[in-house]
Each structure stands twice: as structure tokens, then as C-alpha cells.
Amino acid sequence: MRGVLRRANQHRHECLCHVVALTLLAAGTGMAADSPNLTEQYRPVADKLIDAALADTEGYKRLTYLCYRIGNRLSGSVGLEKAIAWSAEQMKSAGLTNVQIIPTKVPHWVRGAESARMLAPLDKPLHMLGLGGSIATPPGGITADVVAVADFNELDKLGRDKVQGKIVLYNQEYHGYGTTVQYRTNGASHAAALGAVAALVRSVTPLAMQIPHTGAMNYDPNQPQIPTAAVSPEEAMMMARLVADGVPVKVHLEMSAHMAPDADSGDVIGEIRGKELPDEVVVMGGHIDSWDVGQGAQDDGASIMACLQALALMKKLGLQPRRTIRVAFWVNEENGGRGGERYREFVGDQIKNQVAAIEMDGGAEAPVGFGASVAPASQEMLREIAKLLERVGAGEISGAGGGSDIAPLMRDGVPGLAERTVGTHYFDWHHTETDTLDKVNPEDFRKNLAALAVMGYALADMPGRLIGVAGGGRR
Amino acid sequence: MRGVLRRANQHRHECLCHVVALTLLAAGTGMAADSPNLTEQYRPVADKLIDAALADTEGYKRLTYLCYRIGNRLSGSVGLEKAIAWSAEQMKSAGLTNVQIIPTKVPHWVRGAESARMLAPLDKPLHMLGLGGSIATPPGGITADVVAVADFNELDKLGRDKVQGKIVLYNQEYHGYGTTVQYRTNGASHAAALGAVAALVRSVTPLAMQIPHTGAMNYDPNQPQIPTAAVSPEEAMMMARLVADGVPVKVHLEMSAHMAPDADSGDVIGEIRGKELPDEVVVMGGHIDSWDVGQGAQDDGASIMACLQALALMKKLGLQPRRTIRVAFWVNEENGGRGGERYREFVGDQIKNQVAAIEMDGGAEAPVGFGASVAPASQEMLREIAKLLERVGAGEISGAGGGSDIAPLMRDGVPGLAERTVGTHYFDWHHTETDTLDKVNPEDFRKNLAALAVMGYALADMPGRLIGVAGGGRR
């Protein structure tokens, strides 16, 4: 529709064509031919929300508290439980209703003390961080020579003879998160299949600043479990280079990680009840858990605080959409996904009334718009709404969107959106000690807030509904 | 001269003017009016050197060995002594003559175990690195509330009442190295004067990646000595923000640093003896010591390896300049400057024969040219030479140059040059664990090598001599 209107502006004399085109397209989106388009319909309220978002300081203050007073919050940690209780309070103080913690058990992985040291050719500590889910080394640690490979193919070519009893180092250069992360998730089992005693993985990041990046890993049930950790890009490069030059590299690895029994935790939700269709729900959120390093500021604290603040702004402005709009802080996105699954269960047979789900889990750098896994006609409706966000640079609608936490909803046909940003530095900070409040630019935060508020409100209020498509991406 | 030639090319019909201007300017630079300009005189040899430099792999291999097999090398450390012995061997194997280690004592500061922990409002370890020269805390450490200030003025306004017994945190944002570094060098004594028990300094860097940056500090002999350390920018911002919000911040600091007796060490030199004026010397170098973290790759390993390789290339090409060209690896630049002083002493009354000194100590990112503390007419001569380096982007001559190690020579009138680079990321890595080989782009390294080889050769071979000016900058 946006394209048609632009043409109409360019050729005002072609009135008849314009009307015909508009009618055809409106029919295609499921709207009555005489409805005003969503851009014009929601411009006044969108401008109010954007003005309020760009002037907001409360959201960033909430984020400051989460980062500086609560800190990181891995599933099972005291930090997470503090964050959950505090979040429910914040939702209440923002005037939301039906605030509740939806209880669920979460896996409880505990890092414990850990270290790695290169013993030869130089004796020096390595910048390491155990991968989430890894087992411990035997007491006293593992000392072994390092076999360095760029990828699984190289490892397979070396074969069991050269890998048996060794520590495998995956020194894959960063080629985008989706491609490179497989060494973090599957590297240990692949190495174990060839007899390796441990696996080290070059941190999955484009930036080498001696920062190791943790993240989830999975054991193949058909292979022995071996301990696994990330090392900094610098040290992966160094060890790989030494090995390539024929210099034996010996490493001592010591990890005491363990899985504790599942812990009690929960998703946190709150809402503004719809004034006409209260049973129909637009849910918008991110994950409240984080890794056990840094402050979970970009991943995903800023997102949940922006989602909450979007509803807080609606309350302040006295805006009540026709449908219910709900904010959800899903738990355990990082290492289990229990929160997203629990939310699906909570929704139950009301799934048909879940009008849309928006997940924000790519950080809070400058927003560009939304990715949406919806039918083509619905994409057009989203474009009409997104046009209102051009003011804050967030006017793009791209063709696929979703997220780990809303995947269980999308599986059952709920239209899923991902709020998207430029993502310039996100993977510099992701899952590290550097994911701290200072990384969230307050101005960018406010633009994200504006984008969420406008999209959330419009989806909850507009006459039509989006049409979902089967499936939805996990990031 | 370069300007005149350009004008001549543009107005070829104005032949008479051209000759007159050339004659006047040539007189101004101390050249005979009938000499060819330096650009044309040295173009053939410069092109040979640049071609060789851009094809060179040996220099970067040497740097790889220094970084990966020897590692960091603080004055007094085993690493430094290994680096010195290895460097002398490398100079010999490059075919240099008069290779020697000029012995000197160096200060021997030992970091020892150290840590800092925030106890309130959250209990978490801090990313810290003691400053070079700091004393230890008392055994068991220091626990105190934090007073946070942006600068000395703010601290003075707080006064003794609010500072006494506290840990002072200087949270100055990076405003360029020269301005910001004063908190690292003088912060402890300034805080001690008001009764502080320790001083923490936000790392002097534009990049916040949880990396603390060490560096030298000095105690004012009139104030009590208190321990002092750098913290990461993130944690400085966090603590300052908490304090500003009225939230008490308590920190536990434990350091066991001490000064050991002065250690035996030395500068390493080697040379190509001049074929006509062997007593006249152009010296070119950087410092062989580094801080005790990272690999001292940009600071200053790449520089010394490039200087050595510049002479190695001359030997390979069979080039012998009229004067002696010498490479010097000065020791103890980072925390004492003994190497530069010792070299001045070594030169003795031959100071008048020190034709020029080039120092490279700003990293090995893409070169832009040279800064030179020389008389205006000499700047013109340098411009003629630098024109040959436009091929590698290093054609700029700027108005001031020098360096810590050559300052003692420049003090006595030796013309001093600093090899300069774009310096885009230098202070991201400076004095940290991140100053590692991977930061040195091999292509940039080769361009620096080209710049040093051409400038060094031309200064050692050209008919005239540069005229120095009094004094010379320390960085």
C-alpha cells in the first residue's frame, strides 16, 4: 500500500488509477475497501507514542537498575530470581494489570572455578570461559597437546589417530553468527567422537579483544561428554599458528562446572487489557535470563525494559487498544528455552486469540524495523504501520522474523515478529563480560522503545489481524 | 621544492620563473643550486626498497617469533632478557655489523598477585590491572568506600573531609592520550594528598571492552604512597554512576607489587657501516621492552622488527649508504627511560656525528609519514624524501616529532623524527592483554617497513644534513 500511495503522490492527475489500485490492494490485505490505510489511521497516536518515547528517561533508569543493581542472571541464579521479583514490581508500578509470574522449572548449570593455561611453548594463562552446559574436567584438570583445526572437515581429515587424547581447538574465523556458532554448540561431541579429551572454541565474534564469549553447547547423546570452553580469538589464532608452524602447544584446562537440580523460576507477564476484544492478545517481550557474565544489557535486558516501557508509555498517555497488549519476560532463553515453552502451555487453547507475538532479542542498537514471518498481505499491513516509524529510522519490514521465545507460539501459527536493529556491535559484546549498560546508547534505546510502542499498539488496536505462516526462526 | 615542481608542471611555458624559484629554494635548503632534488635523486633506490618491503615476509616472521615465542618483556623480566639475546642474534643473521648489547641497569617492578572486588552494592570481581610502579596494599588488602570524580578539580572540591580514608576513582572520559593520561601518572599522589587510601583510574582508552590498561605512574615525593590500579572503562562508569546516584560503593583491593633491585639489561644495536662517512650515524629504532601483559606487538615489537628489517633489506639489496645507518632497540622505555639515556651516554662526544634519529613508537597501523622536529629548511628536504613514500601512503611530513628514547639525543640538537601511522586503534590495545600479533596487519607492517627503509637510507646517504631544533617531544 505504501508503494501505491507514493505513486499517487507523484501522479496526482491519475486519480482513477489510484483509486482502482487502492481498492485492489486493500482487498488483498483483507481490509474493507473503504477503510483508511493503517499509516493514516495510526499517525496521530503513533506520533504521541514516539514523542513520549523520545523524551522518556524512566525506561533507561529501569535498565540501569537491572544492570547495576541486579546484574547478570543465569537460570538458577540468585540474580535471576531477584530480577523476576523486581520485574513484577516494575510492571505493577507501571500500572499494568494481570501481573504474574508463570512458574516453571529451569535447568541450573553452575560454572564454578575454571581456568586454562598454556604450558608450552610459553607458560601463560589463557583468556577462557567455559561453555554453558559443559561438564567439569576431572579434579586436577586435563593437560594435553593441542590439535588445531579451522573446521569439522579438517578435524575429520586428521582422524582418530591424530586426535585421540588431544585437546581440539576450533579456530574458525567469524563468518556470521549462524554459521560460526556450530563449533560452540557441537564442537565438543564432534571432537569426542574422535577421542579428544577436551574442546576449545575460538569465541564466536568478529572482534578480537581478548574477550572469551560463552554460550550454550549440546552434547550428542551418542558420544562421550568432554569439557569445552571458549578462548579469546587472539589465543585461538596464536595456538593455531604455533601448531601450524610445528611448535607443540600444551594446555592445562581445569573446569568444575556442574548441573544442579532444576531450579524454580518463571516468566513474568503484565498487560493492558483490551477495551473491545480483551481476549485477543498481542504479546511483546524478550528474555529475562542472561549468561553469568557481564550484565545482560544488550542481551536481553534493554529489550525487556523497552517492551515494559512501551506499555508504561501507553498507560501514561491513557491509551487502551482494542485488544489486550501484554509484555512478557521469558525465562531461560539462553540455555533451555523453558520460558517460551511454558508460555505456550500457559496460553493453552487460547492460542487462536494470540493475535501477534513480537520478540526483541538482537540488542538495542539503532532500530531498523521488524522482521515478520507472516503472509504476504500481512506484510503490507506491517509496512503501513512501519511507515510511522520512519521518524526513528525503524521503517523497514523484512521477510522473516521470530525468536527463540516465541517459536512455540509461531509453531502453532501465531504471526511472529522480530524487532530488528543495525546490529553493528552486537556480536562484539554477546555473552561476555562486556555486555554492560554503557553499551546501550540511551538515544538508541528510546528509538527502540518508540518502535515497540507503535507496532505493539497498532497490532493490538487495528481492525484486521495478521496472518501467520507455519514455523518461525530461532536465532 | 615539491611545491615549485608542481607549479612548474602546471605552467611549463614559465621556464625562467621556474629556474629562479628552484635556485632560491635550493639555496634555502642548503643544497647546491645544481643538485638534483632528493625526490628524483632517490627515486630508483626508494622504489627498489619499497618493492622489497612490500614483498617481505621475513620481518613479520621475526615479529611472530617475538610475540608468540618470547611474549611480553617488562624491564627486569626473563622475557626481556630472552628478547635482547634473540634480537642480537637476529641482527647478526641479517648481516649487520657492530652488533652489541650496550649494558644498563633497569628498574625492576614486579606486579605480583593482584585483584579488586566490588563488595557493595553488588559482590563482583572488577577488571583491574595495577599501574606500573605502584606499591602493594597492606597484606589482606584495603577495603573502603569509593569516592568518584571526573577530574582533579572535582576531587579538590570534595576536600579532605570527604576523601580521607576512601578509595578515589578517577572516571575521566578519554579525551586523547596526552590529556587523559595524567590521572594514571599523577592520580595516586593527588588523592593521597587528601588522605585517600588507594586510587583507581578509568583505563586511558577510547574503547570500553572490559580491558584494563596499565602504564607508568609516578609518586610525588612529598606525598604518602598509596596503591593504584586501572579499572576497565565499564566498571569505572558503573561505580561513578552508582556513587552519583547516592548508592555506596565498597571495594576491596589487593596488590602485592614491589620494586626489586635494579636488573641488568641493555640496548641492542647493529649497523651497516657507511661507505664514505662511517662516523656519521643515522639511528632508527624503537623500544624492546613492553608492559607485562599481552605481547607488546604494537607497542613496540612491530616497530623494532620493522627497523631491523629495513636494514636487512638494504643488506639483501646490496645497498650501503654514505653514512652509517644503525638500528637501536632501546630498553626500559615504558618505566624508566634508562635505555634512551644510556644510548646518549654511549654516543658521548660523537653526538655531533649523530645525523638523525628516527623513533617508531606509535604502533604499526597504516603509516602516514613522519613528524620531524627540524628547522624549516630541513622540513623541505624531508618532504622531498617523503614524496617517494606516497606509494605506500606515507608521504606526509608534519611539524613535530620525536620520542622518549631519542629525546636525550634531541636535547643535544640531534634532528629527531617520529614515524607516524593513522593510529586508529592504537589506544584500544595500548598496555593491555590485547596488544597481540593479530593486531598488526601484515600489509600495514610492510608499508611501515618501506617508510623506514626509504627515509633511513636517504637520510644516511643524502648530500646534506638535517638541522635539528632544541628539545623534542616525549609521547
> Which pLDDT score is estimated for A252?
98
* pTM of the full structure: 0.91
Closest Cα in chain A, distance from residue B214 (Å): 15
Question: What are the two backbone dihedrals, phi and then psi, of residue B451, each rounded to the nearest 5 degrees?
Answer: -60, -45
Tell whether omega for the bond before A44 is within 30 degrees of 0, i.e. cis.
no
| CA-to-CA dists, residue A444 to A89, A128, A313, A403, B303, angstroms | 25, 31, 17, 21, 40
CATH of the domain at A78: 3.40.630.10
The reply to whether residue A438 touches residue B211, judged by beta carbons under 8 angstroms, is no
> Which pLDDT score is estimated for A400?
86
The reply to whether residue A234 touches residue B432, judged by beta carbons under 8 angstroms, is no
B230 and B83 in a single domain? The answer is: no
Q: What residues of A are annotated to the active site? A: 333
Task: Please report whether residue B475 resides in a domain.
Answer: no
Strands (E), B9-166: 97-110, 114-120, 124-125, 128-130, 142-149
B93 and B136 in a single domain? The answer is: no
ipTM: 0.91
Task: Name the burial class of residue A161, with classes exposed (0-12), middle (13-18) and buried (19+) by CB atoms within 10 angstroms of its CB.
Answer: exposed
**Mutation choice for B interface testing from A434, A435, A437, A440 by most B CBs within 10 A:** A434
- Total domains present in chain A: 3
Closest Cα in chain A, distance from residue B438 (Å): 7
> Which pLDDT score is estimated for A148?
98
Task: Please report whether residue B20 resides in a domain.
Answer: yes
Task: Name the burial class of residue A399, with classes exposed (0-12), middle (13-18) and buried (19+) by CB atoms within 10 angstroms of its CB.
Answer: exposed
Residue with cell 585517600: B196
**Mutation choice for A interface testing from B210, B432, B440 by most A CBs within 10 A:** B210
* Nearest alpha carbon to residue A200 among A260, A243, A159, A157: A243
Is it the case that residue B11 has pLDDT exceeding 80?
no
Please list the residues that pair with B305 across neighbouring strands.
none
Are the CB atoms for B475 and B372 separated by under 8 Å? Answer: no
Choose among B241, B433, B439: nearest Cβ to A68.
B241
Count the helices and strands in chain B (H runs, E runs): 15, 16
Using one digit for the tens of pLDDT, what is the confidence trace for B281-302?
999 999 999 999 999 999 999 9
Q: Could you say which DSSP state residue B197 is in?
A: S
What mean pLDDT is predicted for residues B90-104? Answer: 98
CA distance A49 to A309: 11
Closest Cα in chain A, distance from residue B181 (Å): 21
B3 and B73 in a single domain? The answer is: no
The reply to whether residue B121 touches residue A433, judged by beta carbons under 8 angstroms, is no
Across A15-29, B317-331, B442-456, least confident range: A15-29
* Number of Cβ within a 10 Å radius of residue B138: 11
Cell numbers standing for residue A440: 546501550
Q: Of B205, B225, B256, at which residue does a domain stop?
A: B256
| CA-to-CA dists, residue A71 to A429, A440, B66, B67, B177, angstroms | 15, 15, 40, 36, 31
Contacts of B70 in chain A (CB under 8 A): 122
* Number of Cβ within a 10 Å radius of residue B16: 8
Is it the case that residue B24 has pLDDT exceeding 50?
no
* Number of Cβ within a 10 Å radius of residue A329: 30
Task: Name the burial class of residue A64, with classes exposed (0-12), middle (13-18) and buried (19+) by CB atoms within 10 angstroms of its CB.
Answer: buried
Task: Please report whether residue B337 resides in a domain.
Answer: yes
Contacts of A233 in chain B (CB under 8 A): 438
> Which pLDDT score is estimated for B471?
55
Residue with cell 497490532: A459
Mean of pLDDT over chain A: 92
Contacts of B434 in chain A (CB under 8 A): 208-210, 234
What mean pLDDT is predicted for residues B353-376? Answer: 97
Using one digit for the tens of pLDDT, what is the confidence trace for B34-69?
556 999 999 999 999 999 999 999 999 999 999 999
Count the helices and strands in chain A (H runs, E runs): 15, 16
| CA-to-CA dists, residue B15 to B10, B22, B35, B380, angstroms | 11, 11, 18, 22
Interface of B with A (CB under 8 A): 64, 68-71, 121-122, 124, 127, 207-211, 233-234, 237-238, 241-242, 247, 294, 428, 432-434, 436-439
Using one digit for the tens of pLDDT, what is the confidence trace for A247-260?
999 999 999 999 99
Any alpha helices (H) in A317-400, and if so which ranges? 338-347, 376-386
Q: Which residues contact A374 (CB under 8 A, 6 or more apart)?
A: A382, A415, A416, A417, A466, A467, A468, A469
Q: Which residues contact A182 (CB under 8 A, 6 or more apart)?
A: none
Cell numbers standing for residue A302: 534493554
Catalytic residue among B235, B280, B333, B419: B333
**Mutation choice for B interface testing from A86, A122, A247 by most B CBs within 10 A:** A122
The reply to whether residue B238 touches residue A68, judged by beta carbons under 8 angstroms, is yes
Task: Please report whether residue A475 resides in a domain.
Answer: no
Residue with cell 623480566: B77
| CA-to-CA dists, residue A274 to A282, A325, A344, A412, angstroms | 10, 7, 20, 23
B250 and B356 in a single domain? The answer is: no
> Which pLDDT score is estimated for A471?
55
Q: Which 3 state secondary structure label does DSSP give A354?
A: strand
> Which pLDDT score is estimated for B371?
98
Is it the case that residue A14 has pLDDT exceeding 80?
no
CA distance A335 to A352: 28
Cell numbers standing for residue A31: 481490509
Is it the case that residue B16 has pLDDT exceeding 60?
no
B277 and B241 in a single domain? The answer is: no
Query: How many residue pairs bridge chain A and chain B with CB atoms within 8 Å of each other?
Result: 74
DSSP A311-325: HHHHHHTT---SEEE
CA distance A74 to A331: 9
> Which pLDDT score is estimated for A205?
98
> Which pLDDT score is estimated for A21?
38
Tell whether omega for the bond before A300 is within 30 degrees of 0, i.e. cis.
yes
- Does the active-site annotation cover B271? no
B24 and B42 in a single domain? The answer is: no
Strand order through the sheet with B277-287: B97-110, B258-272, B323-330, B277-287, B354-359, B416-421, B367-373, B396-398
CATH of the domain at A185: 3.50.30.30
> Which pLDDT score is estimated for B12?
34
Choose among B70, B247, B434: nearest Cβ to A210.
B434
Closest Cα in chain A, distance from residue B332 (Å): 22
The reply to whether residue A68 touches residue B122, judged by beta carbons under 8 angstroms, is yes
Closest Cα in chain B, distance from residue A120 (Å): 9
pLDDT band for A41, please (50, 70, 90 cuts). very high
> Which pLDDT score is estimated for A269?
99
Choose among B68, B434, B437: nearest Cβ to A209.
B434
Is it the case that residue A90 has pLDDT exceeding 70?
yes
Contacts of B233 in chain A (CB under 8 A): 438
Are the CB atoms for A459 and A282 separated by under 8 Å? Answer: yes
* Number of Cβ within a 10 Å radius of residue B20: 12
B247 and B359 in a single domain? The answer is: no
Closest Cα in chain A, distance from residue B166 (Å): 21
Is it the case that residue A35 has pLDDT exceeding 80?
no
A248 and A267 in a single domain? The answer is: no
What mean pLDDT is predicted for residues A271-294? Answer: 98
Choose among B68, B69, B124: nearest Cβ to A71.
B124
**Mutation choice for A interface testing from B70, B438, B441 by most A CBs within 10 A:** B438
DSSP A209-236: SS-----B----TTS----EEEE-HHHH
Cell numbers standing for residue B21: 624559484
Interface of A with B (CB under 8 A): 64, 68-71, 121-122, 124, 127, 207-211, 233-234, 237-238, 241-242, 247, 294, 428, 432-434, 436-439
Choose among B64, B210, B428: nearest Cβ to A433.
B210
Residue with cell 656519521: B280
Cell numbers standing for residue B1: 621544492
B164 and B85 in a single domain? The answer is: no
pLDDT band for B474, please (50, 70, 90 cuts). very low
Q: Of A213, A232, A256, at which residue does a domain stop?
A: A256
pLDDT band for A138, please (50, 70, 90 cuts). very high
Task: Please report whether residue A80 resides in a domain.
Answer: yes
* Nearest alpha carbon to residue A474 among A328, A361, A319, A339: A361
pLDDT band for A469, please (50, 70, 90 cuts). confident
Task: Please report whether residue B472 resides in a domain.
Answer: no
B208 and B349 in a single domain? The answer is: no
A448 and A299 in a single domain? The answer is: yes
Half-sphere exposure of A206 (CA within 13 A, CB side): 11
The reply to whether residue A211 touches residue B208, judged by beta carbons under 8 angstroms, is no
Are the CB atoms for A430 and A338 separated by under 8 Å? Answer: no
CA distance A218 to A223: 11
% pLDDT > 70, chain A: 91
What mean pLDDT is predicted for residues B316-320? Answer: 98
Closest Cα in chain A, distance from residue B183 (Å): 21
Is it the case that residue B32 has pLDDT exceeding 50?
no
Q: Of B236, B256, B276, at which residue does a domain stop?
A: B256
Choose among A69, A211, A233: nearest Cβ to B209.
A211
**Residue B20, domain extent:** 1-29
Nearest residue of B to residue A428 by CA position?
B209
The reply to whether residue B238 touches residue A127, judged by beta carbons under 8 angstroms, is no
Closest Cα in chain A, distance from residue B423 (Å): 17
Closest Cα in chain B, distance from residue A429 (Å): 8
pLDDT band for A9, please (50, 70, 90 cuts). very low
Choose among B68, B70, B434: nearest Cβ to A241.
B68
Task: Please report whether residue B406 resides in a domain.
Answer: yes
* Nearest alpha carbon to residue B257 among B134, B116, B404: B134
Strands (E), A53-211: 97-110, 114-120, 124-125, 128-130, 142-149, 167-170, 198-202
Strands (E), B54-192: 97-110, 114-120, 124-125, 128-130, 142-149, 167-170
B267 and B412 in a single domain? The answer is: yes
The reply to whether residue B64 touches residue A122, judged by beta carbons under 8 angstroms, is no
Task: Name the burial class of residue B66, with classes exposed (0-12), middle (13-18) and buried (19+) by CB atoms within 10 angstroms of its CB.
Answer: buried
Is it the case that residue B30 has pLDDT exceeding 70?
no
Mean of pLDDT over chain B: 92
What mean pLDDT is predicted for residues A440-463? Answer: 98
Across A223-237, A289-303, B9-23, B253-267, least confident range: B9-23
The reply to whether residue B69 touches residue A247, judged by beta carbons under 8 angstroms, is yes
Residue with cell 638541522: B467
Task: Please report whether residue B471 resides in a domain.
Answer: no
The reply to whether residue A69 touches residue B210, judged by beta carbons under 8 angstroms, is no
> Which pLDDT score is estimated for A164?
98
**Mutation choice for B interface testing from A210, A239, A437, A441 by most B CBs within 10 A:** A210
> Which pLDDT score is estimated for A11?
35
The reply to whether residue A234 touches residue B434, judged by beta carbons under 8 angstroms, is yes
Contacts of B432 in chain A (CB under 8 A): 210
Contacts of A436 in chain B (CB under 8 A): 208, 210, 234, 238
Choose among A208, A233, A238: nearest Cβ to B68.
A238
